[in-house]
Amino acid sequence: MAKSRDRELIAESSQIIYDGFVRYNSAFHKITRRARTRFEKRDWQGHQDDIVERINLYEKSVRRVVLLLQKTQGNRTYDHQFWNLIRSYFGARLKKVPDAGFIKTFFNSVTRRIFDTVGVDSNLEFVESSLEEDIEMTKSLNLRRYPYWGSLEKIFETIFEDFSFRVPYSDITRNSVYISSEIEKFIANEPEHDEQDCLRFEFIDTFFYQAARAYMIGRIIMHKGISPIVIAFKNTDYGIDVDAVFLSEEEVSLVFSYTRSYYFADPNSVVGTVHFIHSILPRKPLDELYTVLGRLRQGKTERYRIFSKHMQNTNDKFVHTEGDRGLVMIVFTLPSYDLVFKVIRNKFAFPKTITPGEVIEKYKLVSKHDRAGRLIDTQEFQNLEFPINRFSGELKQELLEEASNTVKIADDNLLFEHVYIERRVKPLNLYIRQSTREAAKLAILDYGQAIKDLAQTNIFPGDLLLKNFGVTRHGRIIFYDYDEVSLITDCNFRDIPEADNIIDEMRSDTWYHVNENDIFPQEFIKFLAMDNELRTLFLKVHGDLLTANYWRNIKAKHLEGQISVIVPYKTPGLPKNYAEQEF
């Protein structure tokens, strides 16, 4: 009788988890599909609200399932052997189910929340993904194919008829001619290709929405390999127009950057979509592609799996990252892998006054905000374990002494109860020291533009020191130190008042009252730790950043509800990478 009841409970528990995933996934798709209407109505604020709602959805769904399981299972809830049977029963029913990896990840999230799992427990979790199943899902992805019969313009006129919005295109012929000319110019600059090498165009059968743009994602099949093609659309007063065409791996990589907000897209197979994009961006990690498509938990799962395999095949040790020592975080890396790990210190040295709890809230703020291509995507992990012999002596000592609240020895491992993981970039202060003069000048100019781009999205970095900014492999400046990030609308930007007398001017401290949220842009000059030539260049182009009036104007726009959209590419008439459009 007991065994019969166990079988019933195993089946019931499995169905609760599966139904919970289906409910989550349906809500995810519902929010995602709203992106088309947001784009067609130019409802950019609604799109920002959807970003937050979709991010919060997963944790809410897992919590709901866990509470239902605890109510259903009673004292069996924390029985490991019982859950091992549930895992086997559950997994057997997912073979050859499309995108089954997402369902298994959801299952893992449920068990990890129930058992507060440390590291990975293969008795409770699905650990390995099936490459064969992934390949099968790639084959099932809905694509639209357009053979090349000698006229690029005719192909794109047909494509516009197939890919349409409820808002009409402004001029299909003009847009087709524009795309065709861009492709012809690209091919003309590629010695190994000519137009007759084109065999066909393939596009994923759905639009991808991000901020105020819609994208078509595709590839050009040629006699000699493939080439990416991504088309960006904007919604104007005159209808839908092509805003840009990307045909190189570098350009497309920027569109799928880990420093931008997640896409809203509804393809029939997410796994297939990830592998399709990977075919045109082979250097882009699979885990980042899952993340950029909004499947954050799957991205985390893939990142951990891929990194764990790398650890098994290497023997180098974790060391401190290059650059200045952080006051809030201990930051380390594995030299052979392009990631950094950030652990919050127990105590923060002067002049930091923030608490560890407030730091966590700052990182949450960034995770749900439009990152404008200037804020690195950071993933929060709990209860990770790595072999203690893979840490340098100096790093291990600092972690155990200065981050003991969250880092502990567990058998032969270091256990990280809380850690952030993000892509590794070159600290800006080191980059300037080690680069050519011309590269340093470009970096300083983009540093100023990065601050302005963030301001357009209501983000004030707080700490503007060069060491808190990094340089990507594309030479783009990004910000990665979030412990002092705040919304511009929460700040009070002031001019430094004039001193009443010479005594006040000579004082080492301020002679005027300063409230908690007061910011004095005139003092930003203190952060510009660069030589005279670079500082002069910065002040010539970005001197307005040192005026309270600039920031007050930005704040007023945000309070009035004006939305500025930062796009990751050059728009005609604007400097490269500095494109922005107000709505």
Catalytic residues: 377
User: In whole angstroms, how far apart are CA 511 and each of 189, 233, 520?
Assistant: 62, 53, 14
Question: How would DSSP label each residue in 457-489?
Answer: TTEE-S---GGGEEE-TTS-EEE---TT-EEGG
Question: Under a CB-based contact definition with an 8 Å cutoff, are residues 188 and 135 in contact?
Answer: no
Sign of the alpha-carbon torsion through 360, 362, 368, 374: negative
Question: Under a CB-based contact definition with an 8 Å cutoff, are residues 581 and 562 in contact?
Answer: no
Give phi and psi for 61, each to the nearest 5.
Answer: -70, -40
- For residue 21, the number of C-alpha atoms closer than 13 Å in the C-beta half-sphere is 20
Q: Please give the distance of CA 125 from its chain centroid, rounded to a whole number.
A: 26
Query: Measuring CA to CA, which residue among 445, 425, 135, 444 is closest to residue 286?
Result: 135
Question: Under a CB-based contact definition with an 8 Å cutoff, are residues 102 and 21 in contact?
Answer: yes
Question: Which helix H or strand E contains 397, and what residues bound it?
Answer: helix 393-402
Buried b (16+ CB within 10 A) or exposed e, 507-529: eeeeeeeeeeeebbbeeeeeebe
The CA distance from 246 to 232, in Å, is 8
User: In whole angstroms, how far apart are CA 195 and each of 152, 160, 217, 379?
Assistant: 9, 21, 20, 43
